[in-house]
Structures are given as C-alpha cells and as structure tokens.
Structure 1
Amino acid sequence: MQIDLSTQLPCSLAEVVAQVRTPHLLRQVASPLLSFSPLTPAEFPSTWSEGTYWVRLKLFGVLPIGRQAIVISYPQTENAQTFMLRDNGYSPLINKWDHLITAQEVNGGTLYRDSVTIKAGILTPFVWLFARLFYAHRQRRWATLAANGFN
C-alpha cells in the first residue's frame, strides 16, 4: 500500500536539505508519536551516510514496538532544484517500508513530499493506517519547525 503526502515549507531548499540529512530532525518530526534509539551503530551520526542503521522504536517514547532498519541512500536527480533521500527500510514484521523524501524549490519555498510503499503481509492495512497518521504528523511538525527557523 502507498502513501503520498506533500506540504509547502516556508524555507529554502538548502535549509530543508541540511535538516533532512540529520537524524536530529527525524527525532524532532517524529516526536512525541515515535522515538528512535540507535542500536547499530550505537550512536547516530551527525548526518546520514548511505548505509543501514538499526533503531529501536517506542510509541509515545515509552511503549516498545520493535526494531527497524533504516536503509539510507541518496538517489540521483537530473534537476539541481530537487533533492531526494530514500529509506528503504524493513523490520522483522514489515517486509518493506520504502520511504522516498523529495524536496523541490518552488515559489520562494520548498515543496516537501513523503512517498511511502508498505508491505507487511496480513498486517499491511494496519501498518499503512499508522504510517498515514505518522507521516501527516511529521509534515505538521516539519511545517512548524520550518516556520520557526528549525529552533
């Protein structure tokens, strides 16, 4: 199942790119709905490099809901005004959590898009529903952070 959500952010593409490349931003936009704690490697890097990062997930920061692989890559784009980050993640219960972030400079701001494909067997509709709520929450948090200069 797929999710495709976008929002206009009141900041430059360069600001969005700088933020989206950091685990710190992931924690900010996911909070308080989800928290991510690094397992392997034992600490998050200051910026995402291509590779696999295992994390422990907690709902509302307290209820353990398992572990997830975050598999980062940076797909190439032909347009210098477009940035992409892909997390082709998975977990023991979720076969595919393929999340593509696209940021594109438009009208003095940045169009930010989350496109996600989820496969979790019989659990897919439930995981999709949670993901739909989660990504709407993320985009609201993104908009608030961007409007406040990421402070």
Structure 2
Amino acid sequence: MRVLLKLVLDCDPDAAWRAIRSPAVFREVSSPLVQIESLAADGFPTVWEPGQHPVSMRGGGVIPMGKQIIRLNFETARHGSVRIVHDSGQGVTGAVSAVTLWDHRMAIAPDPAGTGKTLYRDQLIVKAGLLTPLAWYSLWAFWQWRGHKLQQLAPGWAYDPGTDELEETT
C-alpha cells in the first residue's frame, strides 16, 4: 500500500535538500510520536550518507517498536532539478519487522509555480502481509504528522550560515 504527501515548503530547494538529509530534522519531524536513536557506534552523522544506518524506535518515547535499518541512496532526475532520498531499509526486530517491504522516496524540486519555494513529494510503499492495512493506516497518520512538522520547520531552513553571513557583511 502507498502513502503519499505533496507539499509546497516555504524555503528554497537547496535548504529543503539540506534538511531532508539531516538526521536532526528526521528526529524532529518524528517526535514526539516516535523517538529514534542511532545504534551506530558514533551515533547519528551530521548529514546522512549513502549506506546503512541502524536505529531503534520507541513509540511516544516509551513503547519499544524495534530496531530498523535505514538504507539510503541519493538520486537525481529530470536533468538534475529533482533530488531524491531513497530509503529501502527494513525492520530487524519488534513491531517494525512486520513490514516486509519498505520503499520510501522523498523528492525535492523547485515549485513549478515559480515562487522560489520547494515542491516536496513523499512516497512510501509498504507491505506487511495480512497486517498491511493496519500498517498503512498507522503510517498514513504518522505521515500526516510529519508533513505538518515539515511545513512548520521549513521557513527556518532558509538560513544558510556560510552564505547568509557573507551577504550581511557586504
């Protein structure tokens, strides 16, 4: 089953791209519904890199949901104007291991209306055998929460310390 989001975020595409590649943003848009902790020896990186990232998840910060592998790669499409984060991870233990297919893609592109904002598209395809309808409904509700949080946070992503500070001093 598929969960979809299509939003216009109030920031430029470069700021949105930096944000969706940030484990800190990932954790922020997931909380307080799901608390996510890195299982890597060094914890979360500053910026997601391609590869596998083991995490543990707790519903509401207290209910163990299990361990999951986030498996990331990055893609571009349509002559480089669409950038995609693709997670093909899997649940390893606990309730999250009931999901047998996890195909999550987040796409960042310039708003086609020419506003300078970002067109954000998010697609999750999941399968969990007989539990798929329950998994879909839970993830659909969680995705609505994430979308709301993304829209709230996006205006704050526009600040680029390296570039914006130089513009202010010139």
Give yes or no for TM over 0.5.
Answer: yes
1:35-54 matches, within 5 Å, as 35-54=35-54
Aligned to 1:10: 10
Aligned to 1:33: 33
Instruction: Say which is worse superposed, 33-42 or 16-25, in terms of deviation.
Output: 33-42
CA distance, structure 1, for counterparts of residue 31 and residue 79 of structure 2: 32
- Paired residues of 1:41 and 1:53 also in contact (CA < 8 A): no
Aligned to 1:69: 69
Cα distance, 1:90 vs. partner? 1.2
TM-score with structure 1 setting the length: 0.93
Deviations 1:42-66 (Å, cap 9, x if unpaired)? Answer: 5111111111111111111111111
- Return the structure number with greater helix share: 2
Residue 94 of structure 1 aligns with an amino acid whose one-letter code is: V
- Structure 2: runs of 5+ lacking an equivalent: 92-96, 160-170
Aligned to 1:82: 82
CA distance, structure 1, for counterparts of residue 108 and residue 22 of structure 2: 15
Cα distance, 1:78 vs. partner? 3.3
1:99 to 96, 104, 109: 104
Query: Which has the greater radius of gyration?
Result: 2
2:133 to 112, 121, 125: 125
Aligned to 1:21: 21
Equivalenced residues, count = 151
What's the RMSD between the two structures over aligned residues?
1.6
Indicate how the Cα distance of structure 1 residues 24 and 54 shifts in structure 2: closer, same or farther if over 3 A, else same. same
- Return the structure number with greater strand share: 1
Cα distance, 1:149 vs. partner? 4.2
Deviations 1:5-61 (Å, cap 9, x if unpaired)? Answer: 111101100000111111011001111111111113551111111111111111111
CA distance, structure 1, for counterparts of residue 36 and residue 24 of structure 2: 10
- Paired residues of 1:5 and 1:114 also in contact (CA < 8 A): yes
Instruction: Say which is worse superposed, 75-84 or 61-70, in terms of deviation.
Output: 75-84
Cα distance, 1:80 vs. partner? 2.6
Residue 114 of structure 1 aligns with an amino acid whose one-letter code is: D
Aligned to 2:120: 112
Instruction: Say which is worse superposed, 33-42 or 107-116, in terms of deviation.
Output: 33-42
TM-score with structure 2 setting the length: 0.83
